[in-house]
Structure 1
Amino acid sequence: MLYLIVLVVIGVVLYKYFAFEKPTTTTEYNTNLIQEKIKNVGKLVVTEGHFSQVMTYKDQQKYLMDLISFEKKALIVINADVTIAYDLRQVQYDIDAKNKTITIVSIPKEEIKISPDIQFYDVEQSRMNPFTGDDYNKINKKVKADLAAKMEKSSLKANAGNRLISELAKILILTREMRWKLEYKNQVIESEKQMEETLKL
């Protein structure tokens, strides 16, 4: 009788081990693997561009009922490096091991940096109307605004968006390999095209 009880206890222990312990171990393994893979995707993605432009700056000071005027002007040549960066290390996500789902919670906005090199040529000014710090501030502000407008019309932002999609698609490929689901904005993402449309880049 004692042997029978011992065999029953051993049988119950073995059943619990094979029936419950293994799936838990597998789930933990899959979760850790996914976290490691996503961590590898997290990096700084930078797209670079170069813009050039020439502008003329003029300013006129008038005195004595506009009878006398003093003008200053300069030819300005601008060469600028522009970068658009996505820091994928800041992507927030949630892993639901029970339902085998990765949910992208948030994606960081792009970081745009405009670094202009401004050169002045053919500078004309007078003692009554010299170039001042205020002029340089106005010029710098206008240059950056013009470059930002140029960048919007160029393919630079689209190229940066494509690189972002390519990196995020690695998570999509991972979920397919693991037979998991990828969700973003309450949608199940099944293709790069759908991801692009959801991101609205």
Structure 2
Amino acid sequence: MKKVLLGIIITLLFVFIFRYCENKKDDQSILYENSMLIQEQIKNVGKLIVTEGHFSEVFNYKNSKALFTEYITADKKALVVVNADVTISYDLSKIEYKIDEATKTLQIISIPKEEISISPDLEYYDIQADYFNPFEAKDYNDIKETIKASLIKKLQKSDLQKNAKTRLLEELTNFYVLTKELGWTLKYEETPITDEKNLFELEL
């Protein structure tokens, strides 16, 4: 009777160990599949996000060159009409992240900075120049740089950068939704993201 009882206990013990190992294997398999799913999602989001805008402006350019005294000058001027296409982009293929399977955590380490591209189309009207102060290549370069600086200031005062950041955060929301569904935790740097609202409060 004792041998039979011992045999039953040993059999049950083997069954328990076998079931435990099988369950452990399944858990590891699910964890691996979740990890791969998250990496695939990051690849899908890893694309170029572009926000476009257009600016039009008219500039008056004037340059004076003193000749013999400060009261005698040679002047040149021009009217410049500017039509500029502006793009703000985020290349999310450069996003840095870390997946910790042990703690089921996706950590976004860093997000690439925005890239601003300004392509101004300049048209010159009413160009007037003195013999002693003619228009040169340097003048056109100076005008272009001045206009670019002015456009950047206009860009900073517009909603274009804000809209670009909103689009970026909307893409990052996909990470939060996925990790939440899988029972994982999303972190930005060292900050856990517990709500979509947290994402839109981040200082990027």
Same fold (TM over 0.5): yes
1:1-34 per-position Cα deviation (integer Å, ceiling 9, x unaligned)? xx99xx7897477335413321111111111111
The one-letter code matched in structure 2 to 1:70 is A
The 4+ residue runs of structure 1 with deviation greater than 6 A are 7-10
- The equivalent of 1:99 in structure 2 is 103
State how far apart, in whole Å, the 2-side matches of 1:39 and 1:179 are.
20
- Asked if the contact 1:86–1:109 (Cα under 8 Å) also holds between the matched residues in 2, the reply is yes
SS in 2 for 1:128: coil
Tell whether 2:68 aligns with 1:64: yes
The one-letter code matched in structure 1 to 2:123 is Q
Where does structure 2 lack aligned partners over 5 or more consecutive residues? Answer: 1-6
- The equivalent of 1:77 in structure 2 is 81
- The equivalent of 2:40 in structure 1 is 36
Report how far residue 185 of structure 1 moved.
Answer: 2.7
Give the alignment's Cα RMSD to 1 decimal. Answer: 2.1
- Asked if the contact 1:165–1:192 (Cα under 8 Å) also holds between the matched residues in 2, the reply is no
- The equivalent of 2:168 in structure 1 is 164
Report how far residue 140 of structure 1 moved.
Answer: 0.8
Tell whether 2:119 aligns with 1:112: no
Number of aligned residues = 197
- The equivalent of 1:89 in structure 2 is 93
Residue from 130, 133, 143 that aligns with 2:147: 143
State how far apart, in whole Å, the 2-side matches of 1:101 and 1:65 are.
73
Where does structure 1 lack aligned partners over 5 or more consecutive residues? Answer: none
State how far apart, in whole Å, the 1-side matches of 2:105 and 2:74 are.
70
Q: Judging changes above 3 Å, is the alpha-carbon distance between structure 1 residues 175 and 67 closer, same or farther for their aligned structure 2 residues?
A: closer
Q: TM-score, normalised by structure 2?
A: 0.89
Identity of paired residues, percent? Answer: 44
- The equivalent of 2:53 in structure 1 is 49
